[in-house]
């Protein structure tokens, strides 16, 4: 592509993005496609000769966009809603243009130093102590896995790095603890690290779905009695299902006494701590060994960008540093080589988009967006509480509201099926996208407010659609 051609298409793409972000409601939030429909509309084999970018961009507009679920749509309130932003998109574009690999300091001093600096800014915004060293990874799932790999390094006597675990008669059982409400990424981490799912203790929760520290204590003691090593606890600040906040101070005390690694999954909820009035959500997290928070969830940074903080960077490095001859450099301890803190050698320059977002919005700008999302969630909760045909099933700790439709006279055993149907009807309108969960077995809708374009009118409309679907036969 010649530079002048690039310029022409580049301008067209920027115009398209500007229009898209200006009015993300021009397409329904959910696409009207059947499985396989997009694929069958495209050639099954690659073109032998290059095609014009005009043709490629035309297909993007005509085929790809209509088959996309629009996470940027203000009525996207499923899962944990996120959104792209001008600053984030520009950062991504420049990351692609520079195309550096931040594996070693030398392979991109800017990418390395900006990653360390930007995560230090974010650390300050969250009120975490200076001892927390942060690196950016793709997702919270990978970062939780890395944290648990570092936790094993607290036990050098296990020699896992060198000898592995399978087939060793001298290898004691290990145990990892999380609440029964923790994210499935914890299960995946223990599966992948070779501990096995049977090493994961799902600790019961209280009436607000928070980990019960007494039950944790009992489980640790029971593991000790049979000679297992209690390795790590994953506490969650903002569980996926209902955004519950585990009692981190009490959990930290148990971890300190038992010399267990404490990892905090604050992927979603952690962001709220940029508000002084929400700082309490991270209470006790200064005592953690590691913490994950995702700017790609609720900090207006495009996918993917997940921050992993640790107060034990030497153990994270011990778990992952392995330098082949062709990557030996002469800078020594004067520099940080980011490849030493995870499994990926190739690392994208992800810090650029986060740095752009933080600079362009400013801390106060980000705070006012997060504050507004929390306000909208509380308002929605009030509307639900005022309506006798609706029932809220969880506290609103952040910007997510969990509830169900409960028409007068409907038998309790019909409610799950009824609400499943209601959600299907609501999403079939393609006007809003909500997802679901189960709260102690009860099927419930989740309305997660995290999109920069979402207003009170969108939230109101989502609730009206639930009411209409609930009434209809
Ligand atoms: C509490 C929690 N932890 C971890 C994850 C996984 O995040 P990621 O998609 O970045 O792996 C999620 C996803 O929603 C989550 O809600």
299 pLDDT more than 90: yes
Mean pLDDT of 348-353: 98
The pTM for the full model equals 0.96
Tell me: do 297 and 391 sit in the same domain.
no
Tell me: do 331 and 371 sit in the same domain.
no
Instruction: Please report which helix (H) or strand (E) contains residue 316, including its range.
Output: helix 313-320
Tell me: do 75 and 150 sit in the same domain.
no
Nearest to 435 by CA among 466, 411, 471, 398: 466
Mutate to test the pocket of ligand 1, among 294, 342, 397, 448 (most ligand atoms within 8 A of CB): 294
Pocket of ligand 1 (CB under 6 A): 80, 139-141, 183, 185, 236, 238-240, 265, 267-268, 294, 306
Tell me: do 412 and 270 sit in the same domain.
no
Tell me: do 344 and 365 sit in the same domain.
no
135 pLDDT more than 90: yes
Strand ranges (E), 81-197 = 133-137, 174-179
What does the radius of gyration of the chain's CA atoms come to, in whole angstroms? 24
Distances (CA, A) of 323 to 145, 162, 327, 329, 341: 21, 15, 6, 10, 12
Domain that includes residue 144, residue range: 101-348
Which residue's CA is the nearest one to ligand 1's atom 9? 139
> Is 95 a domain residue?
no
Mutate to test the pocket of ligand 1, among 145, 297, 342 (most ligand atoms within 8 A of CB): 297
Tell me: do 378 and 312 sit in the same domain.
no
β-sheet bridge partners, residue 235: 264
> Is 282 a domain residue?
yes
**DSSP letter at 20?**
H
Q: Computed from CA positions of residues 296, 298, 299, 301, in that sequence, does the dihedral angle turn out positive or negative? A: positive
Final residue before a domain boundary, out of 321, 348, 375: 348
> Is 49 a domain residue?
no
- pLDDT tens digit sequence for 375-389: 999 999 999 999 999
29 pLDDT more than 90: yes
CATH of the domain at 194: 3.40.640.10
Would you state the pLDDT for residue 68? 96
Tell me: do 180 and 119 sit in the same domain.
yes
Cβ atoms of 431 and 461 closer than 8 Å: yes
Give SS3 for 211. Answer: strand
Residue 265 phi, psi dihedral angles, 5° rounding: -95, 95
126 pLDDT more than 80: yes
Would you state the pLDDT for residue 169? 92
Place of tokens 């209690």: 230
Tell me: do 342 and 386 sit in the same domain.
no
CB atoms within 10 A of CB 203: 24
> Is 322 a domain residue?
yes
> Is 339 a domain residue?
yes
> Is 472 a domain residue?
yes
> Is 355 a domain residue?
no
Final residue before a domain boundary, out of 348, 369, 385: 348
d(CA 314, CA 311): 9
Tell me: do 224 and 115 sit in the same domain.
yes
Q: How many domains does the chain have?
A: 2
198 pLDDT more than 90: yes
Q: Predicted confidence band at 222 (pLDDT cuts at 50, 70, 90)? A: very high
Mean pLDDT of 318-324: 95
> Is 222 a domain residue?
yes
CATH of the domain at 24: 3.90.1150.170
**DSSP letter at 310?**
E
Final residue before a domain boundary, out of 319, 348, 377: 348
Which residue's CA is the nearest one to ligand 1's atom 13? 240
Tell me: do 368 and 344 sit in the same domain.
no
- pLDDT tens digit sequence for 242-262: 999 999 999 999 999 999 999
Tell me: do 132 and 256 sit in the same domain.
yes
β-sheet bridge partners, residue 390: 405
Tell me: do 369 and 420 sit in the same domain.
yes
Which atom in ligand 1 lies closest to the alpha carbon of residue 182? 1
Mean pLDDT of 415-430: 97
Would you state the pLDDT for residue 220? 98
Mutate to test the pocket of ligand 1, among 81, 145, 268, 296 (most ligand atoms within 8 A of CB): 268
Mean pLDDT of the chain: 97
């Amino acid at each position: 592509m010649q530079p002048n051609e690039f310029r022409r298409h580049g301008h067209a793409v920027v115009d398209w993005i500007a229009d898209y972000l200006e009015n993300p409601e021009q397409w329904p939030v959910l696409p009207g496609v059947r499985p396989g429909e997009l694929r069958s509309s495209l050639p099954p084999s690659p073109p032998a000769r290059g095609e014009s970018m005009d043709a490629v961009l035309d297909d993007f507009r005509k085929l790809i966009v209509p088959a996309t679920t629009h996470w940027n749509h203000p009525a996207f309130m499923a899962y944990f809603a996120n959104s792209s932003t001008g600053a984030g998109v520009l950062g991504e574009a420049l990351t692609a243009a520079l195309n550096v690999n931040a594996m070693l300091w030398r392979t991109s001093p800017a990418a390395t130093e900006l990653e360390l600096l930007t995560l230090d800014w974010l650390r300050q915004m969250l009120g975490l102590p200076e001892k927390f060293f942060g690196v950016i990874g793709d997702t919270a799932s990978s970062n939780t896995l890395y944290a648990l790999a570092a936790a094993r390094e607290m036990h050098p006597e296990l020699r896992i790095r060198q000898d592995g675990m399978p087939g060793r008669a001298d290898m004691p059982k290990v145990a990892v603890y999380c609440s029964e409400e923790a994210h499935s990424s914890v299960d995946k981490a223990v599966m992948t690290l070779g501990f096995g799912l049977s090493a994961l203790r799902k600790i019961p929760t209280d009436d607000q779905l928070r980990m019960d520290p007494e039950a944790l204590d009992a489980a640790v003691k029971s593991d000790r009695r049979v000679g297992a090593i209690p390795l790590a606890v994953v506490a969650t600040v903002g569980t996926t299902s209902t955004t519950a906040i585990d009692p981190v101070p009490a959990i930290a005390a148990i971890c300190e006494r038992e010399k267990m690694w404490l990892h905090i999954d604050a992927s979603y909820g952690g962001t709220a701590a940029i508000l002084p009035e929400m700082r309490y959500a991270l209470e006790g997290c200064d005592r953690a060994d590691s913490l994950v928070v995702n700017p790609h969830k609720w900090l207006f940074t495009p996918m993917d960008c997940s921050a992993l903080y640790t107060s034990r960077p030497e153990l994270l490095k011990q778990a992952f540093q392995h330098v082949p001859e062709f990557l030996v450099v002469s800078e020594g301890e004067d520099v940080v080589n980011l490849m030493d803190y995870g499994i990926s050698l190739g690392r994208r320059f992800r810090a650029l988009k986060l740095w752009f977002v933080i600079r362009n919005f400013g801390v106060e700008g980000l705070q006012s967006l997060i504050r507004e999302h929390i306000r909208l969630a509380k308002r929605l909760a009030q509307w639900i509480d005022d309506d006798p045909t609706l029932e809220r099933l969880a506290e609103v700790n952040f910007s997510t509201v969990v509830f169900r439709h409960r028409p007068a006279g409907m038998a309790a055993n019909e409610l799950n099926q009824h609400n499943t149907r209601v959600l299907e009807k609501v999403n079939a309108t393609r006007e809003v996208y909500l997802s679901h969960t189960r709260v102690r077995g009860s099927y419930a809708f989740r309305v997660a407010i995290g999109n920069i374009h979402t207003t009170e009118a969108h939230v109101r409309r989502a609730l009206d659609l639930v009411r209409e679907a609930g009434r209809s036969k």
